[in-house]
Amino acid sequence: MKPMANVADLKTKSDDELSTELNNLKREQFNLRFQAATNQLEKPSRVREVRRSIAQIMTLQSERSRSAAK
């Protein structure tokens, strides 16, 4: 598993790369939820990291779409 992405690193990525990263994180979040439900979760802190990374990417995407609309 990768460590949480740095915001500066995310800003340098293209829109397509951000979408791919977002899809990967959502897939990981889904798997973590299953692990938590079956009590097989090894790193509970990873759930929080993934959730925050998803929020950072979504925020960056909305900022970009707002600035493109102006």
Summarize pLDDT for 36-54 with one digit per residue, the tens: 999 999 999 999 999 999 9
Summarize pLDDT for 10-19 with one digit per residue, the tens: 889 999 999 9
Portion of the chain with pLDDT greater than 90, in percent: 80
Give the pLDDT score at 1: 46
Rounded CA-CA distance 55/57 in Å is: 6
Q: What is the pTM of this model?
A: 0.86
* Segments of 1-70 assigned E as strands: none
Residue spans of the domains in the chain: they are 22-69
